[in-house]
Amino acid sequence: MTITDTHTHLYSEEFDQDRDEMIQRAINAGVSRFFIPAIDSTCTKAMYDLEKNYPDNVFLMMGLHPTYVKENYLEELMHVENELKKRKFYAIGEIGIDLYWDKTHLEEQQIAFRSQIRLAKKYKLPIVIHCREAFDEIFQILEDEQSADLFGIFHCFSGTYEQALRAISYNMKLGIGGVVTFKNGKIDQFLNQIELKHIVLETDSPYLAPIPFRGKRNESGYLVHVVDKLAQIYSLSANEIAEVTTQNSKAVFGI
């Protein structure tokens, strides 16, 4: 069984004490494909080190995370483009809009999101969207930018059924992780109405650990609990969930 974690921050300092052991636990559990989102320029070296150490398992994205859009965001966007010129990446991400913590830089977040969507089109790459309390703002830009060559993943999807359908209408897969196991997560109540072909799996580790680890550090290996939950929701075997969602990830990332 091959399980794909489409969104994991393996370079996070929370793994500094046991990163290799944590990755090996995941591989032993069947989670052997790790797609790594960028945050800003400070994580680039750590991402490259990860790829060097796990060339058969780690696949990198490049992008500027919305909560890291600050006064220097134009410099950060230049870093993104410079790295894209140098080498291959598998997505532009994670990008988007986050209005949960701070609305100060909404305009700059919108500019950064739109410009990185255009980079994705230029380099023929998918986008990986971060959206927190910003569905309307995200959808407005996707509406403006939608085209046959715009596609990707709505990372950590936690919206309504209607918002799920709208995200899918913009050629986005839904990234499903630990939230689906939460009693108050709500997405488990309608997910069986969404065809499995629109779903990919993720942990967002070290964040959003699934039940029974909620509130603790998340690991890519815990994705098996998300697989088990989706197996219940879709009345399929864990193997079928793993196979279909991994194929979905290959359709997005091309590998």
Percent of the chain with pLDDT over 90: 97
What's the CATH code of the domain at 32? 3.20.20.140
Residue 57 has pLDDT above 90, yes or no: yes
Among 25-34, 180-189, 214-223, whose mean pLDDT is lowest? 180-189
Which percentage of the chain shows pLDDT scores above 70? 100
* Per-residue pLDDT band at 1 (split at 50, 70, 90): confident
Query: Which pLDDT value is given to residue 149?
Result: 96
Position 58 pLDDT exceeds 90: yes
Residue 47 — φ and ψ, nearest 5°? -65, -45
Q: What is the pLDDT of residue 102?
A: 84
Section 63-80 average pLDDT? 97
Residue 63 near residue 37, CB atoms below 8 Å: yes
Q: In what order do the strands lie in the sheet with 3-5?
A: 3-5, 31-36, 58-60
Question: Which of 153, 77, 91 is closest to 142 using CA atoms?
Answer: 153
The average confidence (pLDDT) of the chain is 97
For residues 236 and 251, give the distance between their C-alpha atoms in angstroms, rounded to a whole number: 21
- Residue 111 banded pLDDT, cuts 50, 70, 90: very high
- What pLDDT, in 10s, does the model give residues 168-184? 999 999 999 999 999 88
Domain holding 170, by residue range, is 3-253
> How many structural domains comprise the chain?
1
The alpha carbon of residue 20 and the mean position of all alpha carbons in its chain are separated, in whole angstroms, by 21
pLDDT average, residue stretch 90-115: 95
Instruction: Check residue 185 and give its pLDDT.
Output: 84
The 10s digit of each residue's pLDDT in 113-154 is: 999 999 999 999 999 999 999 999 999 999 999 999 999 999
Burial class (CB in 10 A: 0-12, 13-18, 19+), 207: middle
